[in-house]
Structure 1
Amino acid sequence: MTARLPLDEQLVALRAALSRNDTLLEVLRRTATLGLPGWYLTAGCLFQTVWNVVTGRPPTEGIKDYDVFYFDDGDLSWEAEDKVIRAAADVFADLPAEVEIRNEARVHLWYEQKFGVPCAPYTSTEAAIDSFAATTCCLGVRLEPDGRWRVYAPHGLSDVFGLVVRPNPVLAPRAVYEAKTEHWRRQWPDLTVLEWPAAT
């Protein structure tokens, strides 16, 4: 069982699983050409590809979009982020999937209005990934200039391969976690979803 392999072998298995998603590989390749600071491909497209491979589904099944995070705190204007988004739209125009690009240095400017809780400014893309509603989702991959894969997985990969969804109550409200997991359970009924911890 991959979830019980040593971490170095899990990393090999992660690359093998993700490499079965041709769209994901193309998003990685094309994002690497954009020169975005501190970028990662992250969120559902990664762990859901693994879930699909583990459960014998087509690699792209149920994947809504491909999220690319980057971090540029030199210009926090919407205009600067929008310029990147529009440039990327041309790069990804012919792909059979939606690619969403966001500057994580700007999240604190809109997060409370959208989710109802304040968000302190992030200091890096990694810090943004750390705040996903489930630790299982805290995963990022990018291509380095020399072609190596850089993998950020602060909670490891065992839950990803083991189909375990574990709450991460550091920022996102409980309602966000429960809405996401309800949706995921319908698509991947093999998941084990752990409950949000009781208030202390």
Structure 2
Amino acid sequence: MDGHLKWAGKSDTVQRAALESIVRGHDVLMDVLVGLREMDLPDHLIGSGAIYNAVWSHLTGKPLLTGTKDIDVIYFDGSDLSYEAEDRVIRTVENRFADLSVPVEVRNQARVHLWFPDRFGFAVPPLARTKDALLRYASKTHAVAVRLETDDSLTIEAPFGLEDMFAFRITPNHALDNKYTHHEKGARAKTIWPEIEVVPW
């Protein structure tokens, strides 16, 4: 088996241990995870490209930030759904991580249903917690996120499992009409990691 596929086909327990090892060996991700924990940002997770790009880069011998345009942070705070409240968090997070080599972008998942129709042309129901946002990602492969807990354990949220990510396979998620995003992200990823297979929508 090719070296980049060494965790493909393994058990969920083994794959989670491999992901945790990769995350803990990623200085930038750990800086953000520790910082978010110190900020006590409610129900926060780091997900999307910051995670799967790190895995693919680690397994192909590339720098861990390869392909990472930003570090996506999602959180859930239903106590104030105003744009102003979210903007205060955005600015606080930006200032906290201003010295990092990549920007940290943060969004309140409690507000998604308010702006989603204007941006994407159709409505979605409100979310109840942060990890439920992963169920709407265009690709199941990308629906992986992590949080550093107060006891230093690492929570891994992966509603579709980790097999696709470790198999270098981008698999569509038909929960929403995200065909364009699925193929766009897949095409971009293949320019960096030609080992990737993009499963058609």
TM-score, scaled to structure 2:
0.93
Which residue, 176, 181, 185 being the options, matches 2:186?
181
Please give the alpha-carbon distance, in whole angstroms, between the structure 2 residues aligned to 1:179 and 1:158: 21
**C-alpha contact 1:20 1:59 (8 A) present in aligned 2:** no
1:59-114, Cα deviation, whole Å (9 max, x unpaired): 11111100110001111000110111111122101111110011001011111222
8 A contact 2:94–2:103 mirrored in 1: no
From 84, 90, 102, give the equivalent of 1:85: 90
1:18 offset after TM fit, Å?
2.1
Aligned to 1:158: 163
Which secondary structure does the structure 2 equivalent of 1:102 belong to? strand
Which segment drifts farther, 136-145 or 169-178? 169-178
SS in 1 for 2:31: helix
Give distance in 2, aligned partners of 1:144 and 1:183.
Answer: 32
The answer on whether the counterparts of 1:52 and 1:59 sit within 8 Å (CA) in structure 2 is: yes
Cα distance change of structure 1 residues 172 and 144 upon mapping to structure 2, 3 Å threshold: farther
Give the AA of the match of 2:188. H
1:27 to 9, 26, 32: 32
CA distance in 2, matches of 1:172, 1:183: 19
Mapped to 1, the partners of 2:187 and 2:24 lie a distance apart of 27
For 2:118, which of 113, 116, 121 is the aligned residue? 113
Aligned residues: 196
Residue 192 (structure 1) aligns with: 197
Partner of 1:62: 67
Matched-pair identity in %:
38
Gap runs ≥5 in structure 1: none
Q: Partner residue of 2:23? A: 18
| 2:86–2:107 CA contact under 8 A, matched in 1 | yes
TM-score in terms of structure 1 length:
0.94
Q: CA RMSD in A?
A: 1.1
CA distance in 2, matches of 1:127, 1:145: 22
Q: Is the 8 A contact 2:72 2:104 kept in 1?
A: yes
For the residue of structure 1 that corresponds to 2:42, the secondary structure is coil
Partner of 2:152: 147
1:27 counterpart SS class: helix
CA distance in structure 2 between the partners assigned to 1:165 and 1:89 by the alignment: 30
Displacement after TM superposition at 1:36 (Å) = 1.2
- DSSP 3-state at the match of 1:100: strand
Residue identity in the other structure for 2:81: L
> 1:19 and 1:145 mapped to 2: Cα distance?
15
Give the letter aligned to residue 73 of structure 1.
G
